[in-house]
Amino acid sequence: MSWQKSSQTIPESALLNVVKDPGPDQLGQDVWAFLRGLGGPSAIWVSGQDASRTRVVCTLLHGNEPSGTHALYRFLRSGKKPLTNAVFILASVKAALTPPVFSHRMLPGKRDLNRCFRPPFEDEEGLIAEAILDLIQTLSPECLIDVHNTSGSGPAFGVSIQDDPDHRALTSLFTNDLIVTDLRLGALMELSERAVPTVTIECGGASDHPSQIIAEEGLHRYLMAEQVLAVPDLEYMVNIYHNPIRLETRGDAPVAYAEEPDPEAVITLSPQSEKFNYGTLTREECIGSLGQAGLSALTAKDHKGNERLEEYFEAHDGGLYPRHPIKVFMVTTNATIARKDCLFYFIGCNPGQS
């Protein structure tokens, strides 16, 4: 799909608050005042030095992932003029502001917004996602960065549905590791299929201090550089990991994090499970204690829908163990996320292995 030249302004939207070139009085004295002033899903236009091009930044698709919001707010407060027009989309503002602040991935009873960027667009989250897609289509940006925090503590990495020089170049502004997946979940990064190079940046855990630095420095490079897409013949030193698999519970079965096995859970993991993030698990490493259903309560399907659970995992002595060394990503200690989304992603240990 080929879109037209970048729009010179941002259109009004019934579902998105639109703010154009906000002044200091519109930014508030801190990030909380800023978000309260927005009130709901919003798009902020900032005019750039080169008015013929537009770059988009999306953040706060999940209300418990604050690094992108803090980085965006500090950039706006700096008064710097970006190299190109910049549009900042903040989506789950209401979830972020709901006490305890920055703790709700989404509001109770609502869908995960980053699973709603494909039809049908019927409920509130679907309509917001559709409005964001319509806005991006109107803007026809040269690229888009979607800034997140991982659901557990760990280092930064990028996620994309394409492995090409443009996606590697965008990733390199923030981190040197890129996960490339053929899995389609309705995430915003799937915009790459519409000729908008898009990379999700997982800055690290929400409470990890480096996450804030990565978000701020990467965002500054993205907004102020003359060229952020690939330069011909320039090699980007980015490690590529293809098609991670999600380890999930069947039917959203309960997960627990405790030192002793929870009889109500299909698997109990250590409260320190985040230590596994970006590490390699060997056959000797117990991942967690299985419930009475054993392995049958878990599933690990690849991007083609093939079940791979028993190829990668085995049960003995009541515990879950890898059959082969695996590298894991996005390990969480949030039981709700583990149950509703996944326990973690995993791949073979060598970059490029599917």
Q: What is the pLDDT of residues 277-304, one digit of tens each?
A: 878 899 999 999 999 999 999 999 998 8
**Amino acid symbol at 279:** G
Note the pLDDT of residue 330: 86
If one counts every other C-beta atom within 10 angstroms of the C-beta of residue 318, the result is 13
**Side-chain-facing half-sphere of 2: CA atoms under 13 Å:** 1
Note the pLDDT of residue 252: 85
Cα separation, 13 vs 251, whole angstroms? 37
What are the pLDDT digits (tens) for 93-104? 999 999 999 999
| DSSP codes of every residue in 285-309 | ---EEE-TTGGGGEE-B-TTS-B-H
Residue 319 has pLDDT above 70, yes or no: yes
Residues for the chain: how many in total? Answer: 354
Q: How confident is the model at residue 135 (pLDDT cuts 50, 70, 90)?
A: very high
Write out the E strands in 206-354. Answer: 239-242, 245-249, 255-257, 267-269, 280-281, 288-290, 298-299, 313-316, 319-322, 326-329, 344-348
Q: What is the percent of the chain where pLDDT is above 90? A: 80
Question: Are 297 and 262 within 8 A, CB to CB?
Answer: no
Kindly give, in sequence order, each residue whose CB lies less than 8 Å from that of residue 326, ignoring residues fewer than 6 positions away.
280, 281, 312, 346, 347, 348, 349
Give the three-class secondary structure for 40.
coil
Note the pLDDT of residue 5: 44
Note the pLDDT of residue 350: 46
If one counts every other C-beta atom within 10 angstroms of the C-beta of residue 83, the result is 18
What does the pLDDT average to over 136-159?
93
Looking at every residue in the chain, the average pLDDT score rounds to: 92
CA angle 80, 155, 225 (to 5 degrees): 25
Note the pLDDT of residue 351: 40
Domain ranges for the chain, please list them: 17-241, 244-348
Question: Are 332 and 152 within 8 A, CB to CB?
Answer: yes
Q: Bigger pLDDT: 348 or 37?
A: 37
Two tokens at 203? 């800055």
Q: Is the dihedral of CA 298, 345, 149, 116 positive or negative?
A: negative
Q: Bigger pLDDT: 324 or 353?
A: 324
Kindly give, in sequence order, each residue whose CB lies less than 8 Å from that of residue 260, ignoring residues fewer than 6 positions away.
268
What are the pLDDT digits (tens) for 60-76? 999 999 999 999 999 99
What are the pLDDT digits (tens) for 113-133? 999 999 999 999 999 999 999
Cα separation, 67 vs 96, whole angstroms? 12
The CATH number, out of the four listed (3.30.1180.20, 3.30.2350.10, 3.40.630.10, 3.40.50.300), of the domain defined by the range 17-241: 3.40.630.10
Q: Is the dihedral of CA 225, 230, 234, 235 positive or negative?
A: positive
Residue 155 has pLDDT above 90, yes or no: no
CA angle 128, 220, 157 (to 5 degrees): 70
Note the pLDDT of residue 353: 43
Question: Are 102 and 92 within 8 A, CB to CB?
Answer: no
Note the pLDDT of residue 8: 61
Within 39-186, where are the H helices?
67-78, 93-97, 124-139, 165-172
Cα separation, 157 vs 243, whole angstroms? 14
Note the pLDDT of residue 7: 54
Note the pLDDT of residue 97: 97
Phi, psi angles (nearest 5°) of residue 92? -90, 55
